[in-house]
Amino acid sequence: MDRQNPTDDTNPTFIPGNKYVLSWDSAGNWMINGKSFQFFGGEIHPSRVPSQYWDHRIKMIKALGCNTISLYLMWNFHELPDGAFDFSSSDKNIAHFIDLCATNNMWVLLRPGPYSCAEWDFGGLPPRMLADPQFHDSSDKLQIRGNFPNYMSAVLKWNTALYERVIKGRTLTSGGPIMLIALENEYTSWGPDDPAHPTALAAQWVSLGYTEKFCVCEGWANAFKNNHIPLPTNTAYGLTAEGNSVSHHNEAKQYYQVASFGAECYPGWICHWTEEKQTIYIDTFADIVARLAKAGCSFVIYVGHGGTNFGFTAGSNGKSTSSVPVITSYDYGAPVSENGRQNANFQVIKTAYAKNASYIVPSNPIPASIPSITDGEISPISNSQFVFSDFLSNVIPTIPNPIPQTIEWIALTLNSQQPASTGIYPAGITVYQTELPKSGYDLSVEFNRPPDFALAFLNGVRVTSDVLTTVKGGKISPVTSFKIDDVPPNSILQIVCMSFGRANYGGDEMRTDGRGLSGNVILNGDVLTNWKMTLYPLLASQLAKLPFGINKPTSPRPFFAKAILTIDIPKDMYIDMSSWGTGYVLVNGHNLGRYWTLAGPQTRLYCPGVWLNSGSNTIIIFEFTQATAGTLSFFSSSNLPYNH
């Protein structure tokens, strides 16, 4: 085939039920059943998209010209508190997602971790590991992402469940679309690396019965070479940071004598709270696509469609003591936007690939858009339409300990005291309480390890207008201590934390993580002891028990506000939170994620129409920082500003 002048369409197309063999020749060129093969992938994370929209998003990626779906699977999204795994709930049925890929004639690159990154809470690993002693050595160092016995035992449970319930029967030799399984992710960024770890992961998969090819996804072509890490047998080399460069694709082939590909080619970039805009690349990225396609490179757009960090799933970059949290939208500047529409770079990417690929790229139709409201279609909800419930009055700290412990420790403790069916994930609002041993004036409170986002209360009254936070940027400045005056005897101090997601990248960042409070809280040089604490994860069962009334908040304490939204036909919408402070929005029990108006740039939360009812819909807002309720307005678009 003449790669510069394609005259045929012989690039292999996946057909369900047919059996295929993926391979590469001595020059590192990809082949399917012995024929030249170029794959063009779009990354989608099923955990960030309602399952009712999976087929639509896959079709959007196919309409872009892609023939492959790449997907991360987040271990902590599927693990239950009892150690079992949920692959059957509608939004967690990954087998169904892969079957939809097959129906749409898409090859599948599966990225099951165990570590993923993906700007997801703790990079997809179970955050319980931060508190569970079995994952720490005698000096309390966290033992993950290496060949540590307890960690590898946990990984094997994850891989076994995934293989038996999802992968088995869906690989190429079984007539399914799964052509590659990724081993770990950007492993050399972890450091210090365990050179035997990737091979040990591959051995687990082989022992389970997997017979297809593997891949690793690394930032740099020389990463495994320079870190003296053996590439496992039958493993291709994927590039993330250097995935945009043809020369680095060729370097990887030369270093490892295997096929290479761009595992992550970025049409945009991560957006954090306090940043001004969401980055999107248009013409510059189209040029990259053209160069890669013309050179016959295989590559994946990361991300083809990003979706949303619903609930508590958004991760953070940096350490908890200098947190850089990711916004709720995971639009990412992807060609398919957060709500499934064409972004500004969709058509230029599609054209660039079709004009330069080594084969005639099929033209696939863009599916009909998911119905969305029009601006003004739904009347706003004013603050007079809410009923309210005070947060602190409904939460009783019950777990005692001499010093405060992290949210992960609290969840582990709570889960050990109740049936597994009622276990909780270590996220939500934590309350820490102690009686002050001193009274008087000019008392100073400091932390050995400041909370990433918290408020302080003395006898139920907020101590300072400042939020205690380690976040820095834009309008937000770090505040890591506070003073209190006129303290009566036997006063109760409460520290209430609304922590961000855990670090998703970096060895030091992840090893030292742990949200909420931990370590010493110091009052005028003396360590405060005898704490009680608890975790409130905003479960639907908890919210159903709250007493709501018409009395509006009169002081700056966290509160719940509830309203009923009546609509005729459920459609996608964005809920505008511009007149609120910081908190979470739940619609019919679905947590849409965090809002933080002052920090920006995001001020609207995506609400999928499939989570709405025809008729009555219950909206509950947990407002953390603001003393009064705002209003709610409803729009068709995110209003997220883009940095072109």
Instruction: Judge whether 606 and 338 are in contact, CB under 8 Å.
Output: yes
Is 331 buried (19+), middle (13-18) or exposed (0-12) by CB count in 10 A?
Answer: buried
Nearest to 555 by CA among 462, 475, 477, 638: 462
For 7, 317, 318, 599, 629, the CA distances from 471, given in Å and listed in that order, are: 55, 11, 10, 10, 25
Question: What DSSP letter does each residue of 102-137 carry, written as one string?
Answer: HHTT-EEEEE--S---TTBGGGGS-GGGGT-GGGB-
| Pairwise CA distance, residues 45 & 266, whole Å | 15
- List, in sequence order, every residue forming a beta bridge with 455; answer none if it has no partner: 496
Q: Is the dihedral of CA 391, 393, 399, 401 positive or negative?
A: positive
Give the single-character DSSP code of 486. S
Catalytic hit among 186, 212, 242, 251: 186
276 catalytic? Reply is no
For 322, 522, 566, 639, the CA distances from 480, given in Å and listed in that order, are: 11, 12, 43, 32
Catalytic hit among 119, 212, 242, 264: 264
Torsion angles phi and psi, residue 269, rounded to 5: -160, 170
186 catalytic? Reply is yes
Collapsing DSSP to helix, strand or coil, 217 comes out as strand
Collapsing DSSP to helix, strand or coil, 343 comes out as coil
Instruction: Judge whether 4 and 359 are in contact, CB under 8 Å.
Output: no
For 57, 237, 305, 306, 334, the CA distances from 61, given in Å and listed in that order, are: 6, 23, 8, 11, 10
Angle between helices 149-162 and 197-208 (to 10 degrees): 40
Nearest to 275 by CA among 460, 454, 471: 471
| Pairwise CA distance, residues 440 & 428, whole Å | 33
User: How many angstroms from the chain centroid is the CA of residue 391?
Assistant: 27
Instruction: Please give the positions annotated as active site.
Output: 186, 264
